[in-house]
Amino acid sequence: MARLFYNSSLTLCLFPLAGQTKFTMSAEQEVYQAEENSNITMTWLLHFDTNRPPDFLQINLINVKKKTRVFFYNSETGTEVYPDENYRGRVQCDSQLARKGRLECVLTDLRLNDTGTYHCIVVHNEEVSSKTCDLNVQTLSRTETIGDYCTSQAAAGSTFTALRSVSICIYGGKRSHSQVHKHFRLSL
């Protein structure tokens, strides 16, 4: 009798009931790199039968380092909650897209202290799956030489900006005012 029970249990574990699929999720990227003041979209892929949308969906996004909840969604109440004031107004997660198998959370106006590990926990009907990803936010480097400025402004495409940049660069190159005008008359 004990052996029969063991074999039946083993069969159920190895071969789940027909039509049942295990809900899993994966991160589109394990590590995201971004500069401060920019935006980033963190994406998780939800693996379930998309022909049968979830009856119940709950999304919980947590910053592990700060131990704070960044985003919370519950399909029963239909509410999206942004509990941490540091993220309020800067995080948008698409719960409707998640029902189709893809969860995208956009984090705007990145700050250095947004760096950390983000743990996304999703409850799909009665199954739970989770995945983490890391976000590295770096300072925006602003070391630009006059030569870089002249090159970038001339490449911007605006005639006025390009002429102004050329005049700054030429005038900065110790040409007199009359030489600059003479140069422009010849080149135009």
- Answer yes or no: do 101 and 180 share one domain: no
State which residues form the domain around 182: 146-187
Residues above pLDDT 70, as percent of the chain: 64
- Confidence tier at 118 by pLDDT (50, 70, 90): very high
Q: Is the pLDDT of residue 79 over 70?
A: yes
Q: Smallest Cα–Cα separation from 70: which of 52, 79, 59, 82?
A: 82
Q: Is the pLDDT of residue 91 over 90?
A: yes
Residue 92 near residue 105 (C-beta atoms within 8 A): yes
Q: What is the pLDDT of residue 142?
A: 65
Q: What is the pLDDT of residue 143?
A: 53
3-state helix, strand, coil in the chain (%, to 5): 30, 35, 35
Residue 99 near residue 55 (C-beta atoms within 8 A): no
- Section 38-59 average pLDDT: 89
- Answer yes or no: do 79 and 128 share one domain: yes
- Section 1-19 average pLDDT: 38
> DSSP class of residue 28?
S
Residue 42 near residue 104 (C-beta atoms within 8 A): yes
Please tell me the total count of domains within the chain: 2
Asked whether residue 30 is assigned to any structural domain, the reply reads yes
Buried (b) or exposed (e) across 82-110, using 16+ Cβ within 10 A?
Answer: bebeebeebbebbbeebbebebebebeeb
Q: Is the pLDDT of residue 176 over 60?
A: no
Q: Is the pLDDT of residue 151 over 70?
A: no
| Polymer length of the chain | 188
Q: Smallest Cα–Cα separation from 62: which of 87, 80, 41?
A: 87
CA dihedral 59, 64, 70, 74 (to 10 degrees): 20
Asked whether residue 123 is assigned to any structural domain, the reply reads yes
Of residues 29 and 163, the one with the higher pLDDT is: 29
Q: What is the pLDDT of residue 185?
A: 40
What pTM did the predictor assign? 0.63
- Answer yes or no: do 157 and 106 share one domain: no
- Answer yes or no: do 109 and 35 share one domain: yes
Asked whether residue 85 is assigned to any structural domain, the reply reads yes
